[in-house]
Structure 1
């Protein structure tokens, strides 16, 4: 009996270790994988109400939005430049609102969204957070310019190419806000040089 218990414990340990090794996928990759296997011909618990490209658009935008909020919180606390600090606060407020709107749409469409920014965004946040003073402000501003250009391009594409009307409307509504953020952060960047 002791040998059997020991064997079962070793097997369970091996399974747990294997499960930990498979955790390499980040939240966004996991959400994309879940959405990819959902049936697009039905809705409900097993189906998804949008095609795979629209679901990927939703996960990409959610990922970027969560990253903006996370970095915004850091900038609101850590930035030394008052404009950068205020911009960080605005990111938290505006992107939290957009994230909530997207989550509500995703729920009605049975789209699984990531629960945290992907590894790339987390690494970028850690790299920026490690800086202090003017170096932090500059790194944050550079990341926001780059990030907002990418998100604006995503939303531009979504506003034209999403097949789902709710996602298309979300992209169309959110795009001017992101473009305004981009203009503001580019002006801050210019003023810092």
Structure 2
């Protein structure tokens, strides 16, 4: 397994910063949750806690940093950069899709939107638990907030009401699911890591189901689908 790098220094540094109130990682009481607030939308219900070992950190490299495209050796098989990327992308999906689905359970204009949103939120919660468990075992640093683009999607959905809310909700969720679906297939077909292989299969089943649910609303227009791959 890839040995942890710089953890003693990170822990010591963060402890020093906490002492003066400057550390950005704020400890939370046991049982609290992290909720992403979007515009004036009502608060979403609980997001999973971020208590990971190693601690969850931003997956976005700092300016000038090079992406790690190395393959790590683990007792479950080689762990490629694409394998790690899938775990991070699923975490990112949960951070916005689960939150906005919980919101849609309350604000959706149609009963169908409210119904499918409950199932989408529940399955994202399960995927997130798996992603966090993998991050602990494989020492993958996870994102702690949605990307700028994902936050823009959330704001666009939350700023609407009625049928416009439903249409915009379906558009952005279906587009996002279509984008990650290709990555899931690529990782499942190439990974040599047994943990990632099982995770990819769980992701494939959930994301395929979510696409079907979103399409079943009849609101998925052309803009809700990613650009077809080049042949």
For this structure pair, what is the TM-score category when the shorter chain's length is used for normalisation? 0.7 to 0.9
Q: 1:85 to 1:108 in 2, by over 3 A?
A: same
Are 2:191 and 1:162 aligned?
yes
* Within-5 A mapping of 1:46-57: 50-57=79-86
Are 2:146 and 1:114 aligned?
no
Aligned twin of 1:84: 113
Are 2:185 and 1:153 aligned?
no
Shift of 1:70: 1.4
**Are the counterparts in 1 of residues 108 and 162 from structure 2 also a CA contact under 8 Å?**
yes
List 4+ stretches of structure 1 deviating above 6 A. none
Shift of 1:175: 0.7
Residue segments in structure 2 that go unaligned for 5+ positions in a row = 1-23, 25-56, 222-231
Higher share of residues assigned helix: 1
Aligned twin of 1:74: 103
Cα distance in 2 for residues equivalent to 1:161 and 1:41: 15
Q: Describe the SS at the equivalent of 1:112.
A: coil
TM-score normalised by length of structure 1: 0.73
Equivalent of 1:27 in 58, 65, 71: 58
Q: Describe the SS at the equivalent of 2:68.
A: helix
User: Highest CA radius of gyration, 1 or 2?
Assistant: 1
Q: 1:149 to 1:37 in 2, by over 3 A?
A: closer
TM-score normalised by length of structure 2: 0.61
Aligned twin of 1:16: none
Are 2:172 and 1:143 aligned?
yes
Aligned twin of 2:72: 40
Residue-by-residue CA offset, 1:127-171 (whole Å, 9 max, x unaligned): 110011110011001112212212222211221122322112111
Residue segments in structure 1 that go unaligned for 5+ positions in a row = 1-18, 20-25, 44-48
Q: 1:141 to 1:166 in 2, by over 3 A?
A: same
* RMSD (Å), alpha carbons: 3.0
